[in-house]
Chain A
Amino acid sequence: MKKYYWLLLTAMMLVTIIVISCSKIEGRTDDLPALNAQDNDLNAGNWKTVLLSHPDTFLVAAPATTTSGTYVGELNEVKALQQNLTAAQKAIVKYWSAGAVLRWNEIMRELVAKHNLPPYQQEDGTYPIPNATNPFNYPQFPFSNPPYAARAYAYVSAAQYDALVSAWHYKMLYNRLSPYQADSFINANKLVPASNLPSYPSEDAVVAGVTAEMMKMLFPTEIAFIEQKAAEAEEARLLAGANVRSDLVAGEALGRAVAQVFIARGKTDNAGKAGGTQADWDKMAADCVARGEKAWISLESPKRPPMLPMFGNVKPFLFDSAACVALRPGPPPSTGSEQMKQETEEIYQLVNHPTREHIRIVQFWADGVATYTPAGHWDAIAAEDFIKKNWSEVRWARNMALLNMSLMDAAIVCWNTKNYYYNPRPSQMNPAIKTLTGLPNFPSYISGHSTFSGAAAEILGHIVPERAADYAAMAQEASLSRMYGGIHFRSDCQVGLEVGKKIGDYAIARATTDGAE
């Protein structure tokens, strides 16, 4: 008898040990090798920029020669740092050496997720609006919802790209050695792979400077956090023996200067007016009713104004506003039509008894509140494939810019369409339709996820052709997830994918003529 008590107790203890031993979570990109570019794209100074008129729009002064006393002093600073590196310092080097564009994109995604929370209502049932001039007041600025986030990713990525093209121009112009090429002690202690890319100005400092400056506009409550990250990113380069201080200073200054061009555009791209006014919202509904259609209403309680309904007027990156209107698809099925009745019934049947697999797909692609949004999800998908490519920083930036400009422009065309047709959600057409994820608070046609995913899959399929079929399948699944979730009709999803694909084609057209291929 006693024997099997002990067996039972031993079994329980074993299970306990198993349970305890698996509680540490490692993220997929926590432990990456250093970026080791196979091709330094030494001609990237000639690549076509997004906003800069010339790669030398901003002057970067010639550096001190590597034989000067100033430079020797800078080398000595690096050597002093390398004498006794702490484990924490080595961890910083390891983290940042995976790639500046990658790490800053991850930081962006984290901030988007952190700030992607809809404001809570006021006593009178209205909703407070985040205020960029008083960003710390609740609700903090920004509420980084999907269109806001898509625009933020695009501005940061495009600015990083232009700044790096400029940096590459000066790198080739001044052709300064890396400290590990100039000094054998530093070479013996360097913590990153050797490269023949000239080190002045530092590409890592360029990315840190341009990003930190852009974030002042996009995430003003995070300035202290961002500046600390920027300082850390630059310190990592000193510790690694990859740059001297003047490489960093020149790079950061160039980055911050380039950012001003993008900030100036950002202040006049209509995003500040994207929230609209009560009169705008009323007009959208009235226009819809005048066309003989049922108008969208908020199903939140209290009723919330539609999310950034004038975002469709934001100035796109890849085409002009006329093209934006041309990209807007034809109308959805009339709300009184037999087709709409059938599409509503289809969604009802899908959500009535959901399969576990459908729930999985809905959750995987939901990208709702407190997430990095669909644009961030596609950035994550892209980044995890880009990591395997060992591209130069400038090519990383170029490809992230192409992706994120596609995603922003997809948001613009999609929001333009949504608020032009102002079409109801399935749960408005049939209140028995319950949703497997949060019901987005804006009109239905066309699906944002489908437009984002169609655009992302198209441009990514061009950038990483061997994965094109996988991206298309992911886009299809992301699109279907919105039907499985009970929040979109089939028309919303199909047309959204088609429109997205057309937007991706604009990015491909740019990619084939920007000098990088």
Chain B
Amino acid sequence: MKQIALLYRHCIVLLCTVLCIITANAQTDHDAIMLNKNQWCNGFNYEHAQWKNYWEGTLKRDNENIGTFTSHAVMYMSAYGITNNLNILAGLPYIWNHTSAGTLHKMHGLQDASVALKWKPWSVTCGKSKLSLFAVAGISTPTSNYTADFLPLAIGFHSTNVTGRAMVDYQAGKFFTTASAAYIMRSNTTIDRNAYYTDHLIYSNKVDMPNAASYMLSAGLRSKYLIAEAMISNLTTLGGFDIHRNDMPFPSNRMNMTNIGAHVKYTLPFYTHIELTADGGYTIKGRNVGQATNFGFGAYYIFNFKKKTSEPATHS
């Protein structure tokens, strides 16, 4: 089975966890599953994240004027098998953010659309073991004129991001492990103010968004109808500044986080066009981000467009 249910799981986790978000493209795709040629997968994912504590720089604190921060996201996702070794993926989330205390206004809106190409250039099988290499390139860009300068309630950073990811996957029987590393380049973002203070005062409405690195390691069971895995991921912002003492967060803060999580995907055995997913996670360590607990679920439908000259699948 080559399906994509894991597709954007991680990005939603990040969306809702970073105080409050790292944009959708931060993690395009980091699962080692490919759609076959002419398969088209479509679906929606819902993700819910909450935090009460956050890190102001490295200082962990709560804030009685925020209470509990909650983010909901519904994300449309789509993926298509151009060939068995090249998939194109796309996603677009709608996000709602609010706080339980204080007077700050909730925010919601369409966030950033993302498109990625996932390529499996090489794999080798030896008995029941298989080693595969992947390369993923993606871009995301805002689809609405939301404000980036109202964190933690702003729904995104409103920057255009380009991500490159390298990934290796090893499967032995029903067990697998996947590791990947990504580099995320972020464009400047524009805010509504024309001057702002970082570690100095800048007379501009443009904000230099530091680039970021993302790492991911997962392991678990991968069988015909069920995938179950545990994972650890890290996002490290390569620059930026810490939230000042008792200040509000800012888009170019140095937002780092390490998350642990689990994910399950189930394909209906009696109707394999449908996949259902569930996931959960927790931020174990962070900097300038919320300590979030998140969960989500998704449902996907896979179409098979058989062509007359359909190529047989070259891999399993």
Contact = CB atoms under 8 A, between A and B. Distances in A.
Interface of A: 1, 5, 8-9, 12, 15-16, 18-20, 22-30, 106, 109-110, 113-114, 117-120, 138, 299-302, 351, 354, 356, 359-360, 362-364, 366, 368-372, 377, 380, 427, 433-436, 438-439, 486
A22 B248 contact: no
Contact of B103 (A117, A369, A435): A435
Q: Interface majority SS on A: helix, strand, loop or mixed?
A: loop
A110 B187 contact: no
A119 B246 CA distance: 7
A106 B189 CA distance: 24
Nearest to A16: B162
B186 A117 contact: no
Interface stretch (B16-24, B43-51, B202-210, B286-294): B202-210
Contacts of A362: 192
Nearest to B203: A27
Given A119-B246, A363-B149, A372-B201, A25 B193 contact: no
Nearest to B144: A356
B80 interface: no
Contacts of A8: 117
The 7 A-B pairs of least Cβ separation, nearest first, read A363-B192, A27-B203, A301-B64, A113-B197, A434-B105, A110-B201, A28-B203
A363 B191 contact: yes
Contact of B208 (A25, A119, A368): A25
Contacts of B104: 434-435, 438
Nearest to A436: B105
A118 B150 contact: no
B1 to A, nearest CB: 24
Interface residues of B, number: 46
A44 B206 CA distance: 40
Contacts of A16: 162, 185
A22 B245 contact: no
Nearest to A27: B203
A461 to B, nearest CB: 21
B231 to A, nearest CB: 27
B314 interface: no
B162 A27 contact: no
20 contacts: A5-B86, A12-B137, A15-B139, A20-B185, A22-B188, A27-B203, A109-B201, A110-B200, A117-B247, A118-B246, A120-B246, A351-B105, A369-B247, A369-B248, A371-B195, A371-B197, A380-B195, A435-B103, A435-B104, A436-B150
Contact of B147 (A106, A363, A433): A363
A300 B65 contact: yes
A117 B192 contact: no
B194 A117 contact: no
